[in-house]
Structure 1
Amino acid sequence: MKRRILALMMGAVLAISMTACGGGDSAESSSESAGEEATADASAERCDAYAAENPGVSIDVKGPTSETAFDEQQNMIETDLNSGAYDAFIISPLQADTVTTLISGEEKPIIALDTDIDAPEVLTFVGTGNENAAAMGGEAAVEAAKEAGWEEINAICITGVQGETTATARLNGFQKGIEEAGGTFLADETQYADAVADKAVTSMEAIMQNHPEGVAIICANNDDMAIAAARAAAGNAAYENTIFLGFNGDKTACEAILADELDMSVAQEAYNMGYLSVQEAVKALEGEELEEFTDSGCDVVTSENAQERLDTLNSYLE
C-alpha cells in the first residue's frame, strides 16, 4: 500500500526544503530570493532521490504564505488532520504551543521539523537544535570580532517575531554563545523585525543612530536580515569591522560572504532536514521506535569554507 505523508512547512527555506518530493508538489513561500529558489531546486533533487528509492511513498508539501500567517497554518493543520487523507504528518510549526493543542490525541505519526513541538504525539524532532546552533555561531562571531580588532565586544540581535519559538531559540542561542565566549550581549536592545529584510534595514539604522561608535557584532535571525543590515551599514566607518552573523547558510549567504557583504552564517542542513523527516516518518509507519531527537547537523560558514559549501549546494543542481 502506498504511504501518503503531509509536510506542513513554516516559510522561507524550510517551506521549500521538500519541494517536489514524491510527485512535484510545491510548497508556498513568502520569499522569492534567488538563493532560496536554488535551495528549492537542490532540495527537489534530494527528495526525488528518496522518492525514487521508495516508490511506495507519496509526499504532499504545504505551507503558509509568511512566517506570521499563524491562522493560515492553523487552518491547514486542522483541515488535514481531519481529512483522513494522510498516513503521517511532518510539521514545522509557526506557533508550537498552538500546534500542541491541535494535534492532541492524534494517533497517526507526527514528526516535528526545525522547531520542536512539546507533545506526546510527536515521535521525533528533526532539526539542528536552533539554540545550540546559534550558540555555535555566537562563539565564532566573538572570535572573529577579536581578530578584527574589537576590544569591547558588544552584540545586538535583529530577530524575527517576538515570542515565536524558533526566533526565541536563536536569540537565546546567540546570547549564550556570545556571553560564553567573553562578549556582551545587549539583550535590552534586541530589534524585532518580523524576520524580513526591509525591517532589518530599519532596525540597523536605529542601531547606528543609538551607537555611533559602532557595535562589534550584529547577529540576525536569518541570512536575508543579516545581509540587509550589513548593506545598511556599508559606508559607515564605525561599522567597517563589525561582524555580521546570519542564520541558514544558504546559497545567497555563501555568495554574500564571498563578496564581503556578510561575515558568517550558521548553516542549517536543510536538505538533510527534509530527507530525514520523511525517513523518520516512514520508519514510524513501519512500526520502528524513533529517537526523541534526530540531528540534521549544522556548521558555521565563513570566508574560509563558503566556496566549498557553495560548490556543494550547486552540485545538487547538476
Structure 2
Amino acid sequence: MKKKLLAMTLASAMCVGMLAGCGGGSSASTDSGDSGASSSGDAYNISVIVKLTDGHFNKVMAGAKAYADEHDNVNVDIQSPTSATSYDEQVNMIETSLGNPSIDALVLAPLQSDSASTLVANTDKVVIALDTDFTSDKKLAFVGTGNKDAAKSGAVAAVEAAKAKGIDKPTVLVVTGVQGDETHEARLAGYKEGVEEAGGEVVEVQYCDGLAEKAATAMESVMQMYPDGIDIVLSSNDDMAMSVVKIIKDSGNAKYADTIVCGFDGNTSAISAIKDGTLGMDIAQLGYDMGYKAVEAAVKALEGEQVDSFIDSGSKVVDSTNCDEYIDDMKAKGLWE
C-alpha cells in the first residue's frame, strides 16, 4: 500500500488555504498512474518546495504533479512560502521535510542558496535543486533553465530590435532580483554578456528583490536619472517587467515611449501584454517541463540510476512574431491561465 503524506508543517497547511482562496502557496499529496513499485514496496514520497506561487511556479508545480499523476509509486507534497522574501518560512519547510523520515527526496527551489547548502549538509535524502541552483555535495542535480544563456538570447534579441529602429548603440537598464540569488545573478550576467556582444551598453543595474513595487520605484528613479530616455529595460522576472511597463505608460514621458521592455518567465500576463503591444518581448521558461523533470530526476536517483548534474528544462524568446504560437501551445497543455 502506498505511503500517504501527512501535513508537514503549519505553514504548509496555511499555504493550502491560500492556494484555494487567493493563489498563495500550496501543499498537496498526489498519487496516481501506472509505474512500478519502489524497492521497498511503498511509494516514493517527494517533498517539492518552491520559492513562491506565481505564473512561473504554477507551471512548475503543475509539471511536478503531472509526473506523480502518471506514476502510481510516486507521491508529491508541494509547498510554497508566501513571498520571495519569506526566508524563515521556507527554512522551516526545508527543515521539516528533511526531518520527516517518511520523505524520501527533496526537490528544492531555494530562496537563499547559501542557506540551502547549509540545511542539506547532513541529510541522507536525495536532493534535487529546482529552478535555482546551490552548491552542495548532497545535491545530485540541478533542474532548471540555463539562466545565463536564456537571458543572453533575450538581450541579443532586444538590442537587435532597438538597432532595427535606427539606434546605433542602445542603452540598457537591468532590473533584477535579490542580490546574491544565483538565478537572478546568472540572468544578470547573461543580460550583460548579450548586450555587450550585440553592441549595446548596460548603463544601470537596479536590484529590486524581484518585487514589482520595488521595480516601479527603481524605474521612477531611473527616469529622473536619465531624462533623455533608456532604449531597453531587461527584467529578470515578469512581475518587474510589467511594473516597469505601467510606470512608463503612466508617466506619459515621450522619451520613454519607445523603450523596449523584456521580461523573463513566460507568465500569462506578460505574453498577453506582448500580444496587445504593451510589452516588447519575454524570455519564457518552460516551467511545466522543469517541474516534471525535477521529480523524474529524484525518482531515477531513488531507483539507483545515474542522473546528469544539470538538466536544462529549456527557454524561448517570445515576441510579436511567435506570440500566438506560444499561446496555442500553452492552451494545448492546459497551462494558459
Change (3 A) 1:222 1:19: farther
**Aligned with 1:95 (options 95, 108, 112):** 112
Q: Which moved more, 1:214-223 or 1:157-166?
A: 157-166
Secondary structure (helix, strand or coil) at the match of 1:265 reads: strand
Residue 277 of structure 1 is matched in structure 2 by 294
**Aligned with 2:233 (options 214, 218, 233):** 218
Would you say how many aligned residue pairs link Structure 1 and Structure 2? 305
Residue 311 of structure 1 is matched in structure 2 by 328
Residue 67 of structure 1 is matched in structure 2 by 84
Change (3 A) 1:4 1:127: farther
Secondary structure (helix, strand or coil) at the match of 1:252 reads: helix
* Offset at residue 140 of structure 1 (A): 1.0
Contact 1:197 1:224 in 2 (8 A): yes
Residue 279 of structure 2 is matched in structure 1 by 262
Change (3 A) 1:72 1:43: closer
* Offset at residue 27 of structure 1 (A): 7.7
Residue 211 of structure 2 is matched in structure 1 by 196
Residue 22 of structure 1 is matched in structure 2 by 30
Residue 221 of structure 2 is matched in structure 1 by 206
The code of the aligned residue for 1:167 comes to: H
The code of the aligned residue for 1:22 comes to: T
| Structure 2: gaps spanning 5 or more residues | 16-22, 33-46
Residue 50 of structure 1 is matched in structure 2 by 67
Residue 199 of structure 2 is matched in structure 1 by 182
Query: How do 1:101-250 residues align onto structure 2 when only pairs under 5 Å count?
Result: 101-186=118-203, 189-234=204-249, 235-250=252-267
Separation in 2, partners of 1:30, 1:99: 16
* Offset at residue 155 of structure 1 (A): 0.6
* Offset at residue 55 of structure 1 (A): 0.8
* Offset at residue 26 of structure 1 (A): 10
Secondary structure (helix, strand or coil) at the match of 1:190 reads: strand
Secondary structure (helix, strand or coil) at the match of 1:75 reads: helix
Task: String of CA shifts for 1:256-279, please: whole Å, max 9, x gaps.
Answer: 101111101111100000000011
Name which one, 1 or 2, has greater alpha-carbon Rg: 2
Identity %: 43
The code of the aligned residue for 1:193 comes to: C
| Structure 1: gaps spanning 5 or more residues | none
Question: Under a length normalisation based on structure 1, what TM-score does the superposition of the two structures give?
Answer: 0.87
* Offset at residue 163 of structure 1 (A): 2.2
* Offset at residue 240 of structure 1 (A): 1.9
Contact 1:18 1:274 in 2 (8 A): no
Separation in 2, partners of 1:87, 1:70: 23
Question: Under a length normalisation based on structure 2, what TM-score does the superposition of the two structures give?
Answer: 0.82
